[in-house]
Amino acid sequence: MIRAIRLVTLLLAVLGLFEFVGAPRVTAQEAPTEAASSAFQGSLPSGGGMVLIETLPGATPDALVDELIERGCQVEVLAITRGGSFQLYAPEAPTFANAAFRASFEPGALALVRCARPEIPDEHLLRIVTKDRALPADFVPDSLALLPDDLVIPGGGAQYLTEETADAVARLIEGARAAGHEIAVRSAYRSYQEQVFTHDHWVSVLGLDEANRRSAQPGHSEHQLGTVADVTSASVGWELEPAFGDTPEGRWLAQHAWRFGFVESYPEGAEETTGYRYEPWHLRYIGETHADWMRQTGLTLTEYLARIDAEAN
């Protein structure tokens, strides 16, 4: 009941924006998709928000709700025109209350729909780890999972990622295989203590300055998040080197990794922003929604996360 009242309040607030007579049609953002069995025509807003759609003859509100859900719209508000005014359709209301809506739409009926904003992945996926921002020495991700052997390079040993990242990397590698590319994980979760050993090693081999370009100081590695995988292929001898970016596998990843929620943290030509030279093998999981948004902005991950952080504070 409270939910219904909340919906009505919301709806009234929104309807204030429209003239009841001759309500303006909201222009569809994409080409209309029409299937013979469809209950409506027009497109749904991808980032939440309100839209007016035109119902199709013969369809019912129930069919419309089913189709909206199927097309990824978590319905927050749904109102339909009937007899010249808008009426709220509440799928969860008692049957008698919705009885009038069981019938087919009136010809040319409009539906006003608001979809919930897409779910934002957990904040931990967006944590900033750079040369300036470290993780605490005792930071250990929840739920580390051992990667199955077939996801790891030959002789790659035990590699761990958070459970959700492990699932995502399995889908990524499966997707690459389906496209004819064999890639595997060479390096994944790295504890604070491992970073101490690794960094000391590089300092002894390369000196401090060059070591800092290649290897993070302890606490400053994204690998400590458990959401980063260094991947490679046989065409570069399973090594981690910039040439990987020019292999068919590297090119496929650059084009498709975002679909699986992964982005390059250290793209080519961005050392000034990221602090690291080009690392086409270093993929961080931020979830599909953010990976898509980041791709559309054209920002580096460093810039993207900084903007999100700035907006949240």
Binding residues (CB under 5 A) for Zn ion: these are: 230, 282
Between 78 and 169, CB nearer to Zn ion: 169
CA–CA separation, 222 and 284 (whole Å): 8
Smallest distance, Zn ion to C-beta of residue 241, A: 12
Q: 3-class SS at 197? A: helix
Smallest distance, Zn ion to C-beta of residue 244, A: 12
Between 101 and 281, CB nearer to Zn ion: 281
Q: Taking the CB of residue 229, how many other CB atoms lie within 10 A of it? A: 30
CB-neighbour burial class of residue 170 (10 A; exposed 0-12, middle 13-18, buried 19+): middle
Smallest distance, Zn ion to C-beta of residue 228, A: 6
Between 80 and 188, CB nearer to Zn ion: 188
**Which distant-in-sequence residues (6+ apart) come within 8 Å of 169 by Cβ?**
147, 151, 161, 185, 229, 231, 260, 262, 285
Between 105 and 189, CB nearer to Zn ion: 189
Between 164 and 222, CB nearer to Zn ion: 222
Taking CB atoms, the residue at the shortest distance from Zn ion is 282
- Using the structure block, give the residue that is written with the tokens 């690998």: 223
Q: Taking the CB of residue 267, how many other CB atoms lie within 10 A of it? A: 20
Smallest distance, Zn ion to C-beta of residue 150, A: 21
- Encode burial over 24-54: b for 16+ CB neighbours within 10 A, e otherwise: eebebeeeeeeeeebbbebbbbeeeebbbbe
CB-neighbour burial class of residue 206 (10 A; exposed 0-12, middle 13-18, buried 19+): middle
Between 85 and 193, CB nearer to Zn ion: 193
Smallest distance, Zn ion to C-beta of residue 104, A: 57
Between 44 and 185, CB nearer to Zn ion: 185
Smallest distance, Zn ion to C-beta of residue 190, A: 8
Q: In whole angstroms, how far apart are CA 310 and each of 37, 91, 205, 304?
A: 45, 39, 38, 10
Query: Which region, left, alpha or beta, applies to residue 109 given φ > 0 means left and ψ of -120 to 50 means alpha?
Result: beta
Smallest distance, Zn ion to C-beta of residue 282, A: 4
Between 199 and 282, CB nearer to Zn ion: 282
Smallest distance, Zn ion to C-beta of residue 168, A: 16
**Which residue type, as a one-letter code, is found at position 210?**
E
Q: 3-class SS at 55? A: strand
N-terminal to C-terminal alpha carbon distance within the chain: 35
Smallest distance, Zn ion to C-beta of residue 229, A: 8
Contact 192, 224 (CB under 8 A): yes
Between 230 and 249, CB nearer to Zn ion: 230
